[in-house]
Structures are given as C-alpha cells and as structure tokens.
C-alpha cells in the first residue's frame, strides 16, 4: 500500500513529473551517490515501478514514464547510431534523467533488447486505455522505430 501511495504521489503531475526508478524514493535523503548510482535501468528496475499502473487502472500515473520515454527518444536514436550503427532507435539500458547513456555496465547499457522492453509499456497503455489517438500518434510510431532497430535481417 505504501509503494502504491508513493507511486501515485510521484506521478500525479504526469507530463511534468520525472519518472521514478525502483530505488528513487529510497535513496534521496543521504546526499551521496546511492548504490546503483540512482540511474534508470531499463529492465525490471523501472518495469516493476510502472506495470501496476496499467492493470490497476491508474493509467494517468503511468504517463510520467511514457512521457519521459517519448521525450528522450532523440537520445535513444543517438545511442543506436553511436553504438549499434543500425536504423531505428534503441534506448540505452542504463541512462541518466535526460536519457543519456551512462557507462560502466556494458552488458546492460548496450543491450539490443531494451527497445522491446520499453515498447511493451506503450502497448500496455494502449491496451488498457484503448486510446486510438495514443496508438496512432505515439505507440505505432515508436513500435515502427523499435522494430526497425530489432529486425534480424539487417
């Protein structure tokens, strides 16, 4: 119950709010760099923070993450271009708040599957909202770019 309350409070101003990560609320009070550098790790660290929004019918709260992913897609394109040399986009799995790659964990940072993880959030938002405008203007556009990156015949 406490984590749900913190999630809802953190995301009430969707569109303006910063997304949360799995460790965000637990490491903000020490003034030092917390374990894991308080970065966004685009696997279960952020996934588990937002999955309950969809099935729990709190779609508005989940928009903070989706909006952030949408706003940082330019950095995702840079990451794909600079490391993979492939078309499309792929978010680095470890990023800062601006979506810029943070080094150190190469096996995570350069994962070719991050796009698939992240597109699932767009699918879930559409699936639970059935918002055709969201599907047309955001989800399908992002799916196309992620799929272009993930094609095996490149």
For 91-140, how does the pLDDT look when each residue is reduced to its tens digit (9 = 90+)? Answer: 878 787 777 877 666 776 777 778 888 888 999 999 999 999 999 999 99
Give the residue ranges of DSSP H helices in the chain: 2-10, 44-55, 59-71, 73-79, 106-109, 114-129, 132-134, 140-150
The total number of residues shown for the chain amounts to 154
Helix axes 59-71, 2-10, angle to 10 degrees: 50
State the chain's mean pLDDT as an integer.
75
3 has a pLDDT exceeding 50? yes
Cβ atoms < 10 Å from Cβ of 123 = 14
43 has a pLDDT exceeding 70? yes
The more confident residue out of 89 and 67 is 67
**Rounded to an integer, what distance in angstroms lies between the CA atom of residue 121 and that of residue 4?**
18
1 has a pLDDT exceeding 50? no
**Rounded to an integer, what distance in angstroms lies between the CA atom of residue 13 and that of residue 60?**
9
Q: Which domains occur in the chain, in start order?
A: 2-150 (1.50.10.10)
Please give the model's pTM, rounded to 2 decimal places.
Answer: 0.78
**Rounded to an integer, what distance in angstroms lies between the CA atom of residue 50 and that of residue 58?**
10
Contact 14, 60 (CB under 8 A): yes
Task: Specify the pLDDT at position 31.
Answer: 58
Q: Give which of 149, 77, 87 is closest to 113, Cα–Cα.
A: 149
């Amino acid at each position: 119950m406490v984590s749900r309350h913190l999630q809802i409070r953190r995301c009430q101003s969707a569109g303006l709010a910063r997304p949360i990560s799995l460790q965000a609320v637990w490491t903000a009070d020490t003034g030092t760099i917390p374990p894991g550098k308080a970065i966004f790790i685009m696997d279960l660290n952020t996934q588990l923070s937002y999955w309950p929004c969809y099935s729990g019918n709190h779609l508005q709260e989940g928009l903070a993450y989706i909006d952030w992913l949408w706003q940082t897609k330019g950095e995702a394109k840079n990451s794909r271009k600079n490391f993979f040399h492939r078309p499309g986009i792929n978010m680095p799995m470890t990023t800062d708040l601006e979506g810029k790659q943070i080094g150190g964990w190469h096996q995570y940072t350069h994962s070719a599957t991050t796009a698939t993880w992240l597109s699932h959030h767009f699918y879930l938002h559409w699936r639970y909202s059935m918002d055709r405008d969201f599907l047309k203007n955001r989800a399908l556009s992002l799916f196309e770019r992620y799929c272009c990156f993930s094609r095996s015949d490149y």
